[in-house]
């Protein structure tokens, strides 16, 4: 493995929430200090499920990239680009689709799961079945050495590695098999106790203002077995407390645990502590985001510049791939 390159993308779903921050963005910030990073808005991936209503995709990219920039993903340090601006992703996707057995795609666990869960959409399309091939193209078109993944995404990366191996076997060594860079992805719960997700309507967004944040925190589910303040509570059963561990320091948390179990601290006061800690922690980011949002064309400029840089690398790879293919 000859390079220090990382590739990671995010589907544009609009404004990011705390789950994206703790699950992806905080890792990206660490990675950009130590690796040559390529971060992209995966707008073609959006088409695999949103092909019938594409109106919101551009706005979603704008909101998402504003969050990236405000949080410190830095176009001077990382290549930040839009997938659809680098046509080599599609070109390689076509070539890889010729060599990828359908059985590999059908056994992808996400394929069946998503088809069953997204019942309002017809996902019986060629593109949806083939999205792991597009994902493989996204990664190997940069000859990435590593891909940051959570434990649950390892099967996806395995398909990428298998596809790269098959190409190399058929035509000669072109693509390094990218290794998994396992990243910590804490499960962030939404205000109703389910996994935080925009589609569940339970998300606290990175760009929510202080008042909105407080309102959402105050409506968070607590220990449901503690109806009154006079009843002892249990932080381990409390949804709000999962966020205390991300925003409130250890000493204060120890006090909260004692106060909750001893029935001295009420949930309203406890959630006020959380809301204040969250508002204070996120304030610098939110100020920065408001400032960046006032610069018209900023996101477009960053993506155009990043896409130009990405294309230089992707073109080189495609020259190598075409030479190996002899077509
Ligand atoms: Fe949760 Fe705090 Fe209420 Fe205990 S006091 S149940 S930790 S909100």
Pull the structure tokens for residue 256. 């909260």
Q: Is the pLDDT at 1 greater than 50, yes or no?
A: no
Confirm whether 235 is domain-assigned.
Answer: yes
pLDDT band at 2 (very low <50, low <70, confident <90, very high): low
Q: Are residues 140 and 98 in the same domain?
A: yes
Same domain for 313 and 254: no
Confidence of residue 112 (pLDDT cuts 50, 70, 90): confident
Do 25 and 126 sit in the same domain of this protein? yes
- Per-residue pLDDT tens over the stretch 145-183: 999 988 878 888 999 999 999 999 999 999 999 999 988
Shared domain for 182 and 35, answered yes or no, is yes
Cβ contact 15:67 at 8 Å:
yes
* CA–CA dist 223, 242 (Å, integer): 11
Between CA 289 and CA 70 the distance in angstroms is 5
Whether 31 and 135 map to the same domain: the answer is yes
- Ligand 1, closest atom to CA 239? 1
With respect to residue 18, please indicate whether it lies within any of the assigned structural domains.
yes
Among 273, 194, 284, smallest CA distance to 239 is for: 194
Answer whether residue 44 shows pLDDT above 60: yes
For residue 31, the domain's CATH number is 3.40.50.620
Is residue 193 a part of any domain in this protein?
A: no
Q: Are residues 210 and 157 in the same domain?
A: no
* Same domain membership, residue 215 and residue 175: no
ipTM score: 0.99
* Residue 270 in contact with ligand 1 by CB distance below 6 A: yes
Q: Is 121 found in the same domain as 32? A: yes
Is residue 281 in a domain?
yes
- What CATH number did the domain enclosing 237 receive? 1.10.240.10
In a domain, 90, yes or no: yes
**Test site for ligand 1: of 246, 260, 273, 278, most ligand atoms within 8 A of the Cβ:** 260
**Per-residue pLDDT averaged across 247-259, rounded?**
96
The closest residue, in CA terms, to atom 4 on ligand 1 is: 260
Whether 181 is covered by a domain: the verdict is yes
Q: What pLDDT was estimated at residue 186?
A: 83
* 261 is a domain residue: yes
Q: Are residues 54 and 173 in the same domain?
A: yes
Q: How far is the CA of 259 from the centre of ligand 1 (A)?
A: 9
Top mutation candidate among 221, 226, 245 for ligand 1, by most atoms within 8 Å of CB = 226
- Whether residues 27 and 147 fall in one domain: yes
**Residue pLDDT, tens place only, 278-307:** 999 999 999 999 999 999 899 999 999 999
Task: Answer yes or no: do 283 and 305 share one domain.
Answer: no
Helices (H), the chain: 18-20, 26-34, 43-50, 57-71, 88-99, 102-106, 109-117, 126-129, 131-140, 154-171, 210-218, 239-247, 250-261, 267-293, 298-325
Q: Domain count of the chain? A: 2
**Does a structural domain hold residue 144?**
yes
Q: How far is CA 257 from the centre of its chain?
A: 32
Domain enclosing residue 253, as ranges: 198-290
pLDDT band at 49; cut points 50, 70, 90:
confident
DSSP 8-state assignment for residue 25: I
Are 210 and 75 in a shared domain? no
Ligand 1 close to Cβ of residue 233 (< 6 A): yes
């Amino acid at each position: 493995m000859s390079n220090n390159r990382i590739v990671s993308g995010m589907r544009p779903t609009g404004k990011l929430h705390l789950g994206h921050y703790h699950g992806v963005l905080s890792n990206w910030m660490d990675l950009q200090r130590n690796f040559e990073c390529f971060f992209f808005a995966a707008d073609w991936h959006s088409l695999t499920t949103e092909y019938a209503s594409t109106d919101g995709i551009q706005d979603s990219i704008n909101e998402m990239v504003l969050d990236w920039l405000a949080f410190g993903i830095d176009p001077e340090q990382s290549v930040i680009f839009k997938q659809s601006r680098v046509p080599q992703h599609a070109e390689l996707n076509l070539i890889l689709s010729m060599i990828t057995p359908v059985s590999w795609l059908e056994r992808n666990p996400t394929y069946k799961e998503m088809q069953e869960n997204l019942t309002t959409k017809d996902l019986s399309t060629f593109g949806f079945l083939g999205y792991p091939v597009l994902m493989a193209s996204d990664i190997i078109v940069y000859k990435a050495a590593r891909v940051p993944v959570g434990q649950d995404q390892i099967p996806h990366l395995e398909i990428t590695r298998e596809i790269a191996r098959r190409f190399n076997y058929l035509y000669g060594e072109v693509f390094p098999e990218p290794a998994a860079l396992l990243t910590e992805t804490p499960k962030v719960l939404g205000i109703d106790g389910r996994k935080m997700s925009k589609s569940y309507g339970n998300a606290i967004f990175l760009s929510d203002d202080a008042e909105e944040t407080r309102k959402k925190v105050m409506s968070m589910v607590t220990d449901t077995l503690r109806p009154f303040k006079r009843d002892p509570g249990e932080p381990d059963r409390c949804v709000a407390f999962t966020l205390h561990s991300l925003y409130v320091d250890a000493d204060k948390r120890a006090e909260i645990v004692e106060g909750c179990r001893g029935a001295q601290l009420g949930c309203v006061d406890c959630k006020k502590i959380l809301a204040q800690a969250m508002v204070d922690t996120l304030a610098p980011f939110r100020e920065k985001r408001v400032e960046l949002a006032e610069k018209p064309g900023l996101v477009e400029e960053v993506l155009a510049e990043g896409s130009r840089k990405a294309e230089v690398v992707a073109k080189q790879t495609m020259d190598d791939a075409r030479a190996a293919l002899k077509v």
